[in-house]
């Protein structure tokens, strides 16, 4: 079935599709033959007159070598459609919403999930999720059950784990499904306890959504979602959650070349204030992010002091300490000592950190780039070539803002005479506009 759509976001998808087709010097008929869809349909997709199905989007992205760009455009359009439909639903009467939500919103959710899962199991999984929600009894006076809220909390853990391995567009699509399911309940009156728990789960999703938009290079959307995360975390009444989410926000924003790092430092310190004085995991994160920001500003002595405070706080957690957070501190040590030019300390920290992260993990890639930065200080030719090999081996969908910023670190650490090397110029071209990692 062909679905009509004349929304601006789908027209943007169509423009991107046409640009990629022309870049590959393919006619409509050539592309149609390769993906086995009629050329007249592709023409309508390019014009924004029709909305392509998820399987066509993934086929187009793969065939044109768009590296996830077309998937990201389609996801943004699907989310915009979902949001527009949700607003229309909220304006309708409550009994209609309670009976069926609306078929269109469910379809849009399925399409977003299909983009993430290549259109195979997503519709089935979404149908099962819908059935589970219907079967559970809502809390008295609420539109959701405690089981649904618990499931969304668990989903936030799953999304955070996936974000360490999978492309940003894929993780964002999965987040969109869960957040879209929560959104109508956030807009309704709920008992206080339910409102707090629901806001807690939604805040975690909103912060992750902001991070994935940032990875995709959309700073405006990232800022909108981080603002939503702040609002929801305050509504949850959980200061430790509010602290953690502010640290997450600061840990992304410090990579933005357009940011005022002094302002980002204030966000990290606000996270520390919210965490309080007693040892806790959010305080460890707040101090660690503060240390990284200080190191990027060039205030290396203060950065080392903040790092030590973070390490001491983590040690005081004893048996309640999160091993993942302990591993992350080794990454922080690597970055901070690399920026400070402490070669021996940076190398020792990097070797330890590398033992924690398997190939394909985002942090493993960042650590390898930090190693190339250290190598480039003494052997610029090999160090820059090492960085280029790492980027070449990485799928285009993983060339996100933080990875590019880590690559920029190599350029910033090169001796002046080495910056005209062909490999240095090539690396610089890949990292234009990125802040050092």
State if pTM tops 0.75.
no
Return the closest-CA partner of residue 244 out of 210, 284, 201: 284
Cα angle 284, 363, 119 (rounded to 5 degrees) comes to 115
Evaluate if residue 117 carries a pLDDT over 60. Answer: no
Report pLDDT digits (tens) over 331-358: 999 999 988 889 899 999 999 999 998 8
Contact partners, residue 24, CB within 8 Å, separation at least 6? 64, 65
Contact partners, residue 336, CB within 8 Å, separation at least 6? 291, 292, 295, 300, 303, 304, 307
Helical axes 8-23 vs 39-47, angle rounded to 10°: 120
Q: Which segment, 171-175, 191-195, 320-324, is predicted with the most confidence on average?
A: 191-195
Residue 115 has a pLDDT of 47
Report pLDDT digits (tens) over 368-409: 998 898 888 889 999 899 989 988 887 766 777 788 888 888
pLDDT band at 5 (very low <50, low <70, confident <90, very high): very low
Q: Which two tokens stand for residue 17?
A: 């599709």
Residue 150 has a pLDDT of 92
Return the closest-CA partner of residue 54 out of 112, 104, 105, 14: 112
Neighbours of 218 (CB within 10 A): 19
Between 397 and 416, name the one with better pLDDT. Answer: 416
pLDDT band at 59 (very low <50, low <70, confident <90, very high): confident
Residue 261 has a pLDDT of 94
Helical axes 239-253 vs 219-236, angle rounded to 10°: 170
The pLDDT > 70 percentage for the chain reads: 81
Question: 121 with 55: CB under 8 angstroms?
Answer: no
Maximum CA extent, the chain? 72
Q: Which segment, 129-133, 179-183, 336-340, is predicted with the most confidence on average?
A: 336-340
Evaluate if residue 16 carries a pLDDT over 60. Answer: yes
Return the closest-CA partner of residue 12 out of 62, 64, 79, 67: 79
Q: Residue 4: beta bridge partners?
A: 50
Mean pLDDT of 13-28: 92
Q: Residue 50: beta bridge partners?
A: 4
Residue 177 has a pLDDT of 77
The pLDDT > 90 percentage for the chain reads: 38
Residue 376 has a pLDDT of 87
- Up-side HSE of residue 312: CA atoms within 13 Å toward CB? 8
Report the mean per-residue pLDDT for the chain: 81
Question: 430 with 390: CB under 8 angstroms?
Answer: no
Question: 165 with 398: CB under 8 angstroms?
Answer: no
Please write down the HEC assignment for all residues of the chain: CCEECCCHHHHHHHHHHHHHHHHCCCCHHHHHHHHCCCHHHHHHHHHCCEECCHHHHHHHHHHHCCCCHHHHHHHHHHHHHHHHHHHHHHHCCHHHHHHHCCHHHHHHHHHHHHHHHCCCCHHHHHHHHHHHHHHCCCCCCCCCCHHHHHHHHHHHHHHHHHCCCCCHHHHHHHHHHHHHHHHHHHCCCCCHHHHHHHHHHHHHHHHHHHHHHHHCCCHHHHHHHHHHHHHHHHHHCCHHHHHHHHHHHHHHHCCCCCCCHHHHHHHHHHHHHHHCCCCCHHHHHHHHHHHHHHHHHCCHHHHHHHHHHHHHHHHHCHHHCCHHHHHHHHHHHHHHHHHHCCHHHHHHHHHHHHCCCCCCCHHHHHHHHHHHHHHHHHCHHHHHHHHHHHHHHCCHHHCCHHHHHHHHHHHHHCCHHHHHCHHHHHHHHHCCCCCCC
pLDDT band at 108 (very low <50, low <70, confident <90, very high): very low
Q: How many residues does the chain have?
A: 437
pLDDT band at 118 (very low <50, low <70, confident <90, very high): very low
Mean pLDDT of 120-136: 44
CA-CA distance, 43 to 50, in Å (whole number)? 9
Neighbours of 299 (CB within 10 A): 16
Report pLDDT digits (tens) over 261-303: 999 999 999 999 999 999 999 999 999 999 999 999 999 999 9
Mean pLDDT of 56-73: 79
Residue the block writes with tokens 């459609």: 81
Q: Residue 51: beta bridge partners?
A: 3
Residue 181 has a pLDDT of 83
Residue 46 has a pLDDT of 92
Neighbours of 49 (CB within 10 A): 16
Q: Residue 3: beta bridge partners?
A: 51
Euclidean distance between the first and the last CA atom of the chain, given in angstroms as a whole number:
47
Between 151 and 59, name the one with better pLDDT. Answer: 151
């Amino acid at each position: 079935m062909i679905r009509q759509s004349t929304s601006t976001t789908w027209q943007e998808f169509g423009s991107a599709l046409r640009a990629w087709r022309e870049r590959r010097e393919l006619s409509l008929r050539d592309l149609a033959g390769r993906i086995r869809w009629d050329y007249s349909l592709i023409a309508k997709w390019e014009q924004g007159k029709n909305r392509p199905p998820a399987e066509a989007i993934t086929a187009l992205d793969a065939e044109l070598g768009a590296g996830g760009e077309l998937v990201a455009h389609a996801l943004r359009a699907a989310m915009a459609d979902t949001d527009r439909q949700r607003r229309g639903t909220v304006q309708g009467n409550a009994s209609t919403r309670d009976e069926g939500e609306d078929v269109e919103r469910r379809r849009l959710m399925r399409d977003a999930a299909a983009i993430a899962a290549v259109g195979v199991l997503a519709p089935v999984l979404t149908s099962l999720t819908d059935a589970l929600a219907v079967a559970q009894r809502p809390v008295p006076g609420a539109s959701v059950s405690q089981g649904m809220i618990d499931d969304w909390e668990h989903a936030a853990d799953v999304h955070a784990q996936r974000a360490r391995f999978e492309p940003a567009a894929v993780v964002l699509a999965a987040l969109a499904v869960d957040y879209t399911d929560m959104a109508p309940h956030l807009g309704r009156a709920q008992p206080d306890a339910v409102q707090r728990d629901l806001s807690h789960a939604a805040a975690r999703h909103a912060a992750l959504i902001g991070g994935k938009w940032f990875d995709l290079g959309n700073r405006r959307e990232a800022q909108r979602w981080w603002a939503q995360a702040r609002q929801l975390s305050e509504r949850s009444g959980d200061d430790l959650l509010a602290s953690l989410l502010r640290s997450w926000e600061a840990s992304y924003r410090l990579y933005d070349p357009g940011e005022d790092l002094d302002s980002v430092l204030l966000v990290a310190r606000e996270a520390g204030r919210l965490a309080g004085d007693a040892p806790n995991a959010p305080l460890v994160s707040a101090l660690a992010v503060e240390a990284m920001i200080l190191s990027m500003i060039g205030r290396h002595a203060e950065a080392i002091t903040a790092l030590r405070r973070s390490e001491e706080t983590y040690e005081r957690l004893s048996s309640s300490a999160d091993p993942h957070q302990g591993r992350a501190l080794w990454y922080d040590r690597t970055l901070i000592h690399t920026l400070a030019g402490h070669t021996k300390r940076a190398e020792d920290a990097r070797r330890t950190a590398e033992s924690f992260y398997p190939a394909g993990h985002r942090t493993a890639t960042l650590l390898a780039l930090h190693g190339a930065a250290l190598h480039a200080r003494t052997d610029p030719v090999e160090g820059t070539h090492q960085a280029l090999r790492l980027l070449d081996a990485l799928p285009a969908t993983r060339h996100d803002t933080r990875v590019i910023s880590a690559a920029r670190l190599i350029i910033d650490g090169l001796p002046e005479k080495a910056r005209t090397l062909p490999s240095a110029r090539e690396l610089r071209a890949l990292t234009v506009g990125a802040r050092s990692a």
